[in-house]
């Protein structure tokens, strides 16, 4: 797939249509792993670069720890919410651009951060672009927050709704018990760009000190918050509006009938590496 084809992927262009739902409904990341990133990176006053920052789910956590952070986000509507969420942090700045088109100039950074967006970057270029953006010894931190449904029966019923309405993927597509016990287990064996990056990074050879870490916790979403999160998911956003609304309404009725929400295993998986 060419870079042009990836830029035109409709799933990558729909988040701004639901920027507020994304901000209120999407989960964040484990603060403990943010501390791990900063300890690993040892920024010592250098600036961190966050690419694909969204509405600031990760950005705010780093800003609260006084990191100097440049956030780059391709969608102007998402960037508007990002600016609002980081307005109280003067060490944070925001630029609107895609990764491949971004004009870095002669700037280089002590940390490259990407949270649940690595799969949107061109796999043929992303390691080159990361390497070019980092100072020697600079760190790479890639974050994901996969979910798993705790209740097997509810998982099966939700899967039936998804199949009926043609929803290809969703946060409830995986049963919590199916996750392995290590970071990135959910991506084992995948060849698509969303797979765990450790093998590609090791093969690249320009990075060292590779580490993988995981934090897990059980969380409960009430029906309203869970539907808000689903509204921001790309696989729902690309559905015809009427089909999407019917799928969400039926999902909401099921969750209300099953106690008014859904229990999930919420993971934060972290991959770390350092430019040689």
- Dihedral sign for Cα 18, 19, 20, 23, please: positive
3-146+180-217+266-275 adopts what CATH topology?
Rossmann fold (3.40.50)
Higher pLDDT pick, 60 / 185: 60
CA pair distance 170, 185, nearest whole angstrom = 18
Contact criterion met (CB below 8 Å) for 79 and 19? no
Domain ranges for the chain, please list them: 3-146+180-217+266-275
For 104-151, the pLDDT digits (tens) are: 999 999 999 999 999 889 999 999 999 999 999 999 999 999 999 999
Contact criterion met (CB below 8 Å) for 118 and 142? yes
Residue 55 has pLDDT above 90, yes or no: yes
pTM (2 d.p.): 0.87
For 152-204, the pLDDT digits (tens) are: 999 999 999 999 999 998 999 999 999 988 898 876 654 445 579 999 999 99
Residues composing the chain:
276
Contact criterion met (CB below 8 Å) for 179 and 149? no
Higher pLDDT pick, 61 / 186: 61
């Amino acid at each position: 797939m060419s870079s042009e084809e990836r830029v035109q992927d409709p799933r990558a262009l729909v988040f701004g249509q639901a920027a507020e739902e994304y901000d209120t409904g999407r989960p964040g990341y484990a603060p403990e792993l943010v501390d791990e990133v900063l300890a690993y990176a040892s920024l010592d006053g250098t600036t961190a670069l966050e690419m694909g920052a969204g509405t600031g789910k990760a950005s705010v956590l780093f800003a609260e720890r006084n990191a100097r952070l440049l956030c780059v986000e391709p969608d102007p509507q998402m960037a508007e919410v990002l600016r609002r969420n980081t307005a109280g942090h003067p060490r944070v700045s925001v630029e609107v651009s895609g990764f491949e088109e971004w004009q870095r100039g002669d700037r280089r950074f002590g940390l490259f951060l990407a949270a649940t967006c690595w799969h949107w970057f061109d796999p043929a270029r992303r390691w080159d672009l990361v390497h070019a953006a980092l100072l020697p010894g600079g760190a790479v931190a890639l974050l994901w927050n996969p979910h798993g449904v705790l209740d097997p029966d509810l998982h099966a019923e939700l899967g039936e709704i998804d199949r009926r309405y043609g929803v290809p993927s969703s946060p409830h597509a995986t049963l919590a018990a199916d996750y392995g016990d290590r970071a990135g287990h959910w991506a084992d064996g995948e060849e698509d760009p969303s797979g765990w990056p450790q093998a590609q990074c090791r093969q690249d050879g320009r990075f060292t000190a590779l580490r993988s870490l995981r934090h897990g916790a059980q969380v409960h979403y009430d029906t309203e918050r869970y539907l808000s999160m689903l509204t921001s998911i790309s696989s729902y956003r690309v559905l015809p509006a009427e089909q999407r609304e019917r799928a969400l309404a039926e999902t909401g009725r099921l969750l209300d009938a099953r106690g008014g929400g859904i229990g999930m295993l919420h993971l934060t998986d972290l991959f770390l590496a350092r430019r040689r």
